[in-house]
């Protein structure tokens, strides 16, 4: 057997993987769900069994969400202010809830995209030749 259980060694087309991840689907098959809950990545794909627990998302999804949503919302705030000059309470009533909703809606697709990127580029444990790790340290050799 040329591949370890749950570790695909086949083709990993980047664009297809990113699209599948952004759609919250397994980057390997595009059928199984990437998440078990809102932001909890499944350990393995329920459809194809691909190991997905190797991802290292950390704060990157939140960072990219803040950058993207911030640019969109701030642009809209400035455009509305320039065009209509609404009072501050109108800005607060519109933009605070919209910022929260857009950020919550964007967070899962951005995390899916980042996990799929790691999968497609064989980063971390997604590389079949990657050594097993315990936490952030290499596992001690077994004699
Ligand atoms: Zn799958």
Distance CA 124, CA 119 (A): 8
Chain mean position to CA 103: 13
| Residue 33 CA, ligand 1 centroid: distance in Å | 7
Q: Where are the domains of the chain?
A: 14-128
Reported confidence tier of residue 92, pLDDT bands at 50, 70, 90: very high
Ligand 1 center from residue 107 Cα (angstroms):
21
pLDDT band at 124 (very low <50, low <70, confident <90, very high): confident
Condensed to tens digits (0 to 9), the pLDDT of residues 130-140 reads: 776 555 555 55
67 Cα: distance to centroid of ligand 1 (angstroms):
30
CA–centroid distance, residue 114 to ligand 1 (Å): 16
How confident is residue 7, by pLDDT bands cut at 50, 70 and 90?
low
pLDDT greater at residue 56 or residue 24:
24
Distance 73 CA to ligand 1 centre (A): 34
Q: Show the 3-state SS of the chain.
A: CCCCCCCCCCCCCHHHHHHHHHCCECCCCCCCECECCCCCECCECCCCCCECCCCCCCCHHHHHHHHHHHHHHHHHHHHHHHHHCCCHHHHHHHHHHHHHHHHHHHHHHHHHHHHHHHHHCCCHHHCCCCCCEECCEECCCCC
Is the pLDDT reported for residue 125 higher than 90? no
Compute the distance from residue 49 Cα to the ligand 1 centre, in Å: 6
User: 139 CA to middle of ligand 1, Å?
Assistant: 28
24 CA → ligand 1 middle, Å: 11
Torsion angle, alpha carbons of 68, 71, 76, 79, to 10: -160
The alpha carbon of 69 and the centre of ligand 1 are apart by a number of angstroms equal to 29
**Within 13 Å of residue 22, how many CA atoms lie on the same side as its CB?**
8
The token pair that represents 121 in the structure block: 């580029």
Cα distances from 89 to residues 3, 24, 85, 97, in angstroms, run 59, 36, 11, 12
pTM, to two decimals: 0.80
């Amino acid at each position: 057997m040329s591949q370890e259980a749950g570790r695909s060694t086949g083709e990993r087309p980047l664009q297809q993987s990113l699209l599948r991840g952004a759609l919250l689907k397994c980057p390997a098959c595009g059928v199984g769900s990437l998440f078990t809950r809102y932001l909890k990545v499944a350990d393995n794909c329920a459809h194809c069994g691909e190991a997905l627990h190797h991802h290292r998302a950390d704060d990157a999804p939140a960072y990219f969400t803040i950058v993207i949503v911030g640019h969109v919302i701030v642009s809209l705030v400035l455009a509305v202010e320039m065009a209509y000059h609404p009072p501050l309470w109108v800005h607060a009533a519109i933009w605070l809830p919209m910022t929260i909703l857009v950020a919550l809606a964007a967070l899962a697709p951005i995390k899916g995209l980042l996990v799929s990127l790691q999968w497609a580029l064989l980063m971390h444990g997604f590389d079949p030749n990657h050594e097993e790790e315990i936490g952030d340290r290499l596992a001690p050799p077994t004699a």
